[in-house]
Structure 1
Amino acid sequence: MMTSSADISSILNRILDTAADNLRIAKILVQMGLDPNNITYDALFNRLLEIFLANITLANLFAVVGAFFFVATLLMQTMVPLRVANMIGCALFAIYGLLSGNTSTFLLYLLLVPINGVRLRQMLKLVKKARHATQGDMSMEWLKPFMTERKYRRGDTLFKIHDPANEMFLTVTGKFLVKEINIEIPPGRLMGELGFLTPNNQRTGTVECIEDGQVLTITYERLLEIYFQDPQFGYYFLVLASQRLLENISRLQDQLKAERATTTNRIA
């Protein structure tokens, strides 16, 4: 064991001797308080240890822990835990800036803490409302902050069956008609969500405005962004879309029953 250690030490010493011949490395060694002409592995190790121990301060400890949290954000796949880790990292770096007297560092990371907090609150609120919606409240109010306003007049066609689909609609005012199944869509209902779920993103029906109204729109790309920020949203959205589809099927069944009853009465 002693011979093996001596061999490793000898090899490292040779590497250091070769590196010391480089002028730039020699300058670094001088700045570190080492003699470039008489450098050994043990001397370098001891000097680095001295520097490390000399720089162990409370401020630097906060900076090191904060750096770990920032590295952790690179390994996270969802937005909520990433925001939490980022907030903790920013708080620790803000404390580092305060303890070290670095005003710019302190102000920068102190500002980032509430920014991350606001975004985290928005995401948690979105997931909470989506969860609440799947438990019976079919309101889509929770999506409004992510949507843009658009107005339609009577007779306007929002989209046609088999058209390429790239956005979803939430009705606010007015009335809209799904022509293929003759179903009116009142305010507060979704339109075009099934195109988001179809393999080729194609419209499954034609929707026409039958009373002047206003809608809110959100692109499928934005929906995907929200989904990747928190995969739970994808599950809740799928449940909502499934419920809408089941409602449409139920309406169609009721219409068929009514038509059959009418036909039977006429024959009778």
Structure 2
Amino acid sequence: MSELPWIDIASYVASSLVFVAFFMKAILPLRLMAIASNVAFIVYALGAGLVPILVLHLCLLPLNAWRILQHMAVVRRVRDAATGAPDIRKILPLMQMQTYGAGDVIFRKGDPGRSLRYLAEGRVRFDEVGVEIGEGTVFGEIALFLDTQSRTATATCLTDCTVYRLSKEKVIELTVLDPGFGLFLTRMVAERLQQNVEATRSA
């Protein structure tokens, strides 16, 4: 029995790797399997002289590698945010910056609450409860967990403010991407609730 040509072996390996990739549920293993299949197809295309397949996988290889680097960078930022004391500043690069002038309303009571905010600069007052917050404070996150998903108070800027916004869609995306963000968010909400309880007791 003659030995199977190495070109045929490469084609079977490449096809098998593509098949296995369809069973991957997590992003990183899927991309790694895709890279392995790209390499196998490149070897096969070189040996068989199949230029279209060669060009295709020469393009897909760096694309998959780039996506892995993007994924790992985001995961590192999120996992850093999930360790130690909750610190929203660690994910500011993932948030949208907004600026407001003194007297501007960030949101009103009853408005849809589809984002959490971080006050980087300035002071904000919640009119209905008479509470003021300063820079370094997270607010508006509780509405994400309410059935009505509506704001419970009106947030008015007492001074010029710089606010960072993270949409609910981005929250869900980051949570799906890495459970570490879910841990970060849970700890952040728990800390906020604890602060509210302590404020109520001291009032």
Q: Give the TM-score of the pair, scaled to structure 1.
A: 0.62
The one of 118, 142, 149 aligned to 2:97: 149
CA distance in 2, matches of 1:217, 1:150: 7
Greater share of strand: 2
Q: CA offsets per residue over residues 88-146 of structure 1, 9 Å max, x none?
A: 33333233333333344334323333333333333333333333333324333443343
| Structure with larger RCO (C-alpha < 8 A, sep 6+) | 2
Aligned amino acid, residue 91 of structure 1: V
- Indicate the residue corresponding to 1:230 in structure 2: 178
- Indicate the residue corresponding to 1:110 in structure 2: 58
Q: CA offsets per residue over residues 144-175 of structure 1, 9 Å max, x none?
A: 34333322111111112332112222333333
CA distance in 2, matches of 1:153, 1:227: 32
Q: CA offsets per residue over residues 36-59 of structure 1, 9 Å max, x none?
A: xxxxxxxxxxxxxxxxx89x5434
The one of 26, 31, 42 aligned to 1:78: 26
Aligned amino acid, residue 50 of structure 2: N
Bigger Rg, structure 1 or 2: 1
CA distance in 1, matches of 2:192, 2:39: 44
Aligned length: 202
- Indicate the residue corresponding to 1:129 in structure 2: 77
- Indicate the residue corresponding to 1:183 in structure 2: 132
Q: CA offsets per residue over residues 231-267 of structure 1, 9 Å max, x none?
A: 443233222332233233333434x2xxxxxxxxxxx
Q: CA offsets per residue over residues 161-203 of structure 1, 9 Å max, x none?
A: 332112222333333233425131314x433222222233222
Tell me, yes or no, if the aligned pair for 1:80 and 1:229 is still in contact at 8 Å.
no
Matched, 1:244 2:186: no
- SS of the equivalent of 1:216 reads strand
- Indicate the residue corresponding to 1:207 in structure 2: 155
Tell me, yes or no, if the aligned pair for 1:134 and 1:240 is still in contact at 8 Å.
no
- Indicate the residue corresponding to 1:3 in structure 2: none
What's the RMSD between the two structures over aligned residues? Answer: 3.0
Structure 1's unaligned 5+ residue stretches are: 1-52, 257-268
- Indicate the residue corresponding to 2:43 in structure 1: 95
Structure 1 stretches of 4+ with a deviation exceeding 6 A read: none
CA distance in 1, matches of 2:192, 2:12: 51
CA distance in 2, matches of 1:83, 1:176: 44
- Indicate the residue corresponding to 2:88 in structure 1: 140
Structure 2's unaligned 5+ residue stretches are: none
CA distance in 2, matches of 1:240, 1:223: 13
Greater share of helix: 1
